[in-house]
Structure 1
Amino acid sequence: MFLPRRALRHALFAAALSALLPFAGASAWAQEGPQLNLPRTKLGAGMYQIDVQVASSGLERQIGLMNRKEMPQQEGMLFVFEVPAVQCFWMKNTLLPLTAAFVADDGTIVNLADMKPQTTDSHCSSQPVRYVLEMNQGWFAKKGFKAGLKLRGAPFEGR
């Protein structure tokens, strides 16, 4: 079968596009609602217990707390990376004001950053970390927690 060049280009473009469409829904930007079904674990902070969702895959971390309209005070999200590195976060499509705790392998909070909703301002760890814990903004301050506090829980055991 013979196709003119222009028709062939259109056919190839359509085939390539249709091959990519199944992956279009995997984009964080296409995420319509909050991700609520991630695995959970408990962390300890001083005398408090935190119920956290664990975002460990690239897509889970990319979506994070986007599109969430509320989050209970004792809940948060723990982002887990494969290796320690300087981690930077922003709040595009995130509706809640949050505080990010950048956490070393042993559970020690390296630094805290308050983040405004729906901004692209970058908030980074002051040194390489593997974990970032996001909580409602003000949660750490209300409890008097600062850099140096050591979190407890399964992710930090044996490190």
Structure 2
Amino acid sequence: MLRLTWAGPLLPARVLSACAAVLFALMAGLSLARAADAPLEALEIATRKGVVVLEVEVARTEQQRETGLMYRKELPERQGMLFDFGKSEPVYMWMKNTYIPLDMLFVRADGTIARIEEMTTPFSTRTISSGEPVKVVVEIAGGAAKRLGIAPGDRLSTGLFSGK
């Protein structure tokens, strides 16, 4: 005769934890895939050497701004993300969960670049300050600002700056 005895829960806590972790990773992956498929908008930057055209995703919501380029493993040289804060204010960024170095362009309400933080350190939780009130931050691949001739004082051309 076969006798069954109950030896505790059917799924130990470790198995449940592992399943929850896998589910979380899948959900994060789906969210990132959607972000990677976000429509790109043209962004022109008038530099001393001419006009540079970038393609950027625009982060308008709080959730989009919080996630930014986190978890991305690559970023083409002429692509990036534009963070629209809606009004001029001091801005603080960090590189937590960001796998690639970035250049951060801090942009005033009139569209001029106030400063550039070049080659930020991946995964760093160091606070990166705008240094003054800005309306927009543009993140591009690390080193791209220098290679493309983008510098403080250059001007972005987009509808975001028409109302100042």
Question: Is TM more than 0.5 here?
Answer: yes
Query: Which of 77, 84, 94 does residue 80 from structure 1 map onto?
Result: 84
Aligned-partner Cα distance in 1 for 2:83–2:28 = 18
The aligned counterpart of 1:134 is 139
Q: Which moved more, 1:39-48 or 1:124-133?
A: 39-48
Aligned to 2:62: 58
One-letter code aligned to 1:56: R
Q: Which amino acid aligns with 1:78?
A: L
Where 1:60 maps in the other structure, the secondary structure is helix
Query: Residues 32-59 of structure 1: CA distance to partner in whole angstroms, max 9, x if unpaired?
Result: 4632243432111232211000001000
State the identity as a percent. Answer: 34
How far apart, CA to CA, are the structure 2 residues paired with 1:49 and 1:156?
17
Please give the alpha-carbon distance, in whole angstroms, between the structure 1 residues aligned to 2:151 and 2:53. Answer: 16
Structure 2: stretches of 5+ with no match in the other structure: 1-23
The aligned length equals 131
1:140-159 equivalence runs, <5 A: 140-159=145-164
Counterpart in the other structure of 1:49: 53
Structure 1 vs Structure 2 CA RMSD: 1.7
Note the residue ranges of structure 1 that are not aligned, 5 or more in a row. 1-24
Q: Residues 39 and 105 of structure 1: is their aligned pair in 2 closer, same or farther, counting only changes over 3 Å? A: farther
Partner of 2:127: 122
State the distance in 2 between where 1:121 and 1:40 align. 29
Structure 1: 4+ residue segments shifted above 6 A: none
Indicate which of 89, 109, 117 corresponds to 2:113. Answer: 109
The 10-residue stretch of structure 1 (118-127 or 148-157) with the greater mean CA deviation from structure 2: 148-157
TM-score, structure 1 as length reference = 0.76
DSSP 3-state at the match of 2:155: coil
1:140 is paired with a residue whose SS is helix
